[in-house]
C-alpha cells in the first residue's frame, strides 16, 4: 500500500512524540511492505514564528492532498498573550474545520499494567473501556459572534449547531456503538440549553434507525461524576465539542495518564487527522521525558480507520502493551517498581517489539 502522510509536529513535546511515532510507523510499514511518504509542515506556535500565522496555506494544501495527517500538539506560554487570531490553538481549530473533521473519536481503555497508577480504586477502573465521540467542528468553539463588546465590559461566545451537524455525529456514534457493546450515552445539558434540547431530540429520532443499540441520556454534570465513579457503565459517549473536550481529559485518569490517550478526527470519507489528546506540555518540553505512547497509539488508529490495516494497527497496540507488561514506563506513568525510561528509550522498546517475530504470533492469536 502506498500512502502520503503529512506530519504536523507543532510545539513543545509535539516535536518529540511525532519523531517517535514516525519511527514506529516506518518499522510497521517496512515489516508489512507498505510505502508511506512523509511530508512535514508547520502549525501552531512554530508556524506563527516562521510564517506569521498559526495555519499557513501551504500546510492546509498539503493536508488536503494527503491520505492522512499525524499531529503532535500546539501551544505554549510564548504565544499565550497573542491576540486570538495569532494563537497556536487557532491553527489546530482551523485545520480541523478546513478538513471537515467533524468526528473526534477518543477511545479510553485502561491498560491492566497501569491500573494501579490510576488515582481511582482498582475495582472502579478495572475493565473500563469507553469511546468518547466528540463533535469537533461546531458548537461553542466555532459559533459567532465570539467577541468582547462595550470596551470589554461585555463578552459573548455562541453555541450554535445546524441540525444536520448534530445528525451526522449522532449517526457516527450509533455506528461506533454497533461495532462495540451496543450502548450509547448521549451527554448534554438539556435542562438548560436549547442546543442540548435539539441534540436530545435528534438522538431520540435516530434511535429508530438503530434498534439494536440501547440509548441513555445524561446531563453533562452527572456524566462528569459517573465517568470517575462508575466508568464501566459507559460504552460509547456522544457529545458536543466542548463537553467532549472536558470529559475526555477527565476520562484520561482511567488510563493512568493523559500521555496514553490517542485520538482520531475523521470525516465521512475516512480521511483523518490523528493526534494525542494531550497538549504540548511546556513544563516537560525538550527534556526527553515525554510519553510518546499516545501518539504511537494514534498511528495505530490511523492504520485502522484511514487505511483499513487492522493487523498492522494491532501490532502497534500489542507492542505498547508488551512494553508496559515488561515493566517500562515514562515519568508520567508512575508505575510502582517500574523501570522509568525517557522518550527515545520508550520508542526503542516499542520498535523492538514491533519488529519482533513473536508480536505476529500473538496478534494472529488475538485477531485470527
Ligand atoms: P497538556 O496536556 O499539555 O499538559 C497537562 C499535563 O500533562 C502537564 O503536566 C504535562 O506535563 C502532562 N503531559 C501531557 N502530555 C504528556 C506526555 N505525553 N507525557 C508526559 N506528560 C504529559 O495541557 P496544558 O498544560 O493545559 O496545555 C499546554 C499547552 O498545550 C497549551 O498551550 C494548550 O493550549 C495546548 N494544548 C494543545 C492540545 C493539542 O494540540 N491537541 C491539547 C491540549 C492542550
Ligand atoms: C484538544 C485541545 C484543543 C481543543 C485545544 C488546544 C484547542 O484541548 O484537542 O483536546 O480544545 O480541542
Ligand atoms: Mn482538550
Q: What is the mean pLDDT of residues 271-284?
A: 97
| Tens digits of residue pLDDT in 155-191 | 999 999 999 999 999 999 999 999 999 999 999 999 9
92 lines ligand 2 (CB under 6 A): yes
Q: How confident is the model at residue 366 (pLDDT cuts 50, 70, 90)?
A: very low
**Residue nearest ligand 1's atom 42 by CA:** 279
> Is the CB of residue 251 less than 8 Å from the CB of residue 233?
no
b/e 158-185 (16+ beta carbons within 10 angstroms → b): ebebeeebbebbbbbbbebbeeeeebbb
**Residue nearest ligand 2's atom 7 by CA:** 89
**How far, in Å, CA of 325 to CA of 4, rounded?**
33
In this structure, the strands spanning 236-239 and 183-188 are: parallel
| Tens digits of residue pLDDT in 208-226 | 999 999 999 999 999 999 9
Q: What's the pLDDT score for residue 358?
A: 58
The Å distance, Cα 245 to ligand 2 centre, comes to 7
- Each as own residue / partner, the long-range contacts of residues 244-250 (CB below 8 Å, 24 or more positions apart, any chain) are 244/104, 244/106, 244/132, 244/133, 244/134, 244/135, 244/136, 245/134, 247/132, 247/187, 247/220, 247/223, 248/106, 248/108, 248/132, 248/134, 248/277, 249/277, 250/224
| Tens digits of residue pLDDT in 305-348 | 999 999 999 999 999 999 999 999 999 987 778 899 999 999 99
Closest atom of ligand 2 to 75 CA is 6
240 lines ligand 2 (CB under 6 A): no
The Å distance, Cα 249 to ligand 2 centre, comes to 10
Count of H-run helices and E-run strands, the chain: 13, 14
Q: What is the pTM of this model?
A: 0.94
**How far, in Å, CA of 252 to CA of 287, rounded?**
23
The Å distance, Cα 300 to ligand 1 centre, comes to 21
Closest atom of ligand 1 to 292 CA is 18
Q: Which residues are catalytic?
A: 141, 189, 221, 245, 249
| Tens digits of residue pLDDT in 190-202 | 999 999 999 999 9
**How far, in Å, CA of 55 to CA of 41, rounded?**
10
Interior angle at CA 219, CA 201 and CA 119, nearest 5: 140
Q: Give the total residue count for the chain.
A: 368
Q: What's the pLDDT score for residue 307?
A: 96
- SS (HEC) of 82-146: CCHHHCHHHHHHHHHHHHCCCEEEEEEECCHHHHHHCCCCHHHHCCCEEEEEEECCCEEEEEEEE
**How far, in Å, CA of 140 to CA of 174, rounded?**
23
Beta-strand runs (E) in the chain: 2-10, 35-40, 68-73, 103-109, 129-135, 139-149, 154-160, 183-188, 214-219, 236-239, 262-266, 272-276, 328-329, 339-340
What is the grid cell recorded at 288?
526527553
* CB half-sphere exposure, 258, CA atoms < 13 A: 14
Q: What's the pLDDT score for residue 360?
A: 52
| Tens digits of residue pLDDT in 34-47 | 999 999 999 999 99
Of 360 and 297, the structure prediction assigns the larger pLDDT to 297
104 lines ligand 1 (CB under 6 A): no
**Residue nearest ligand 2's atom 8 by CA:** 245
**What's the sign of the alpha-carbon dihedral 39, 172, 293, 326?**
negative
Q: How confident is the model at residue 357 (pLDDT cuts 50, 70, 90)?
A: low
Burial class (CB in 10 A: 0-12, 13-18, 19+), 71: buried
20 lines ligand 1 (CB under 6 A): no
**How far, in Å, CA of 128 to CA of 256, rounded?**
12
Amino acid at each position: 500500500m502506498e500512502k502520503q502522510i503529512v506530519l504536523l509536529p507543532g510545539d513543545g513535546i509535539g516535536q518529540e512524540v511525532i519523531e517517535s511515532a514516525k519511527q514506529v510507523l516506518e518499522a510497521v510499514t517496512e515489516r508489512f511492505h507498505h510505502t508511506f511518504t512523509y511530508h512535514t509542515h508547520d502549525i501552531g506556535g512554530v508556524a506563527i514564528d516562521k510564517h506569521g500565522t498559526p495555519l499557513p496555506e501551504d500546510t492546509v494544501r498539503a493536508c488536503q492532498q494527503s491520505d492522512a495527517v499525524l499531529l503532535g500538539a500546539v501551544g505554549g506560554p510564548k504565544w499565550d498573550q497573542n491576540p486570538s487570531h495569532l494563537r497556536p490553538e487557532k491553527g489546530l481549530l482551523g485545520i480541523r474545520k478546513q478538513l471537515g473533521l467533524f468526528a473526534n473519536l477518543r477511545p479510553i481503555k485502561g491498560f491492566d499494567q497501569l491500573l494501579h497508577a490510576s488515582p481511582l480504586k482498582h475495582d472502579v477502573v478495572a475493565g473500563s473501556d469507553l469511546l468518547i465521540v466528540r463533535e469537533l467542528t461546531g458548537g461553542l468553539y466555532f459559533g459567532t459572534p465570539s467577541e468582547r463588546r462595550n470596551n470589554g465590559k461585555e463578552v459573548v461566545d455562541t453555541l450554535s449547531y445546524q441540525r444536520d451537524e448534530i445528525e451526522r455525529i449522532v449517526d457516527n456514534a450509533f455506528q461506533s456503538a454497533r461495532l462495540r457493546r451496543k450502548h450509547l450515552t448521549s451527554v448534554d445539558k438539556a435542562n438548560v440549553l436549547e442546543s442540548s434540547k435539539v441534540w436530545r431530540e435528534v438522538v431520540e429520532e435516530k434511535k429508530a434507525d438503530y434498534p439494536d443499540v440501547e440509548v441513555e441520556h445524561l446531563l453533562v454534570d452527572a456524566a462528569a461524576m459517573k465517568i470517575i465513579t462508575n466508568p464501566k457503565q459507559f460504552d460509547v459517549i456522544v457529545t458536543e465539542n466542548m463537553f467532549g473536550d472536558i470529559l475526555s481529559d477527565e476520562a484520561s485518569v482511567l488510563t493512568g495518564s493523559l500521555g496514553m490517550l490517542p485520538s482520531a478526527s475523521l470525516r465521512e470519507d475516512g480521511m483523518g487527522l490523528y493526534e494525542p489528546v494531550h497538549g504540548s506540555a511546556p513544563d516537560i518540553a525538550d527534556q526527553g521525558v515525554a510519553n510518546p505512547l499516545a501518539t504511537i497509539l494514534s498511528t495505530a488508529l490511523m492504520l485502522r480507520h484511514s487505511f483499513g490495516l487492522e493487523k498492522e494497527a494491532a501490532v502497534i497496540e500489542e507492542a505498547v502493551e508488551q512494553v508496559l507488561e515488561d515493566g517500562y514506563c515514562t515519568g508520567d506513568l508512575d508505575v510502582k517498581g517500574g523501570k522509568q525510561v525517557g522518550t527515545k528509550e520508550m520508542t526503542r522498546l516499542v520498535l523492538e517489539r514491533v519488529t519482533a517475530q513473536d508480536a505476529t504470533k500473538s496478534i494472529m492469536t488475538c485477531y485470527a
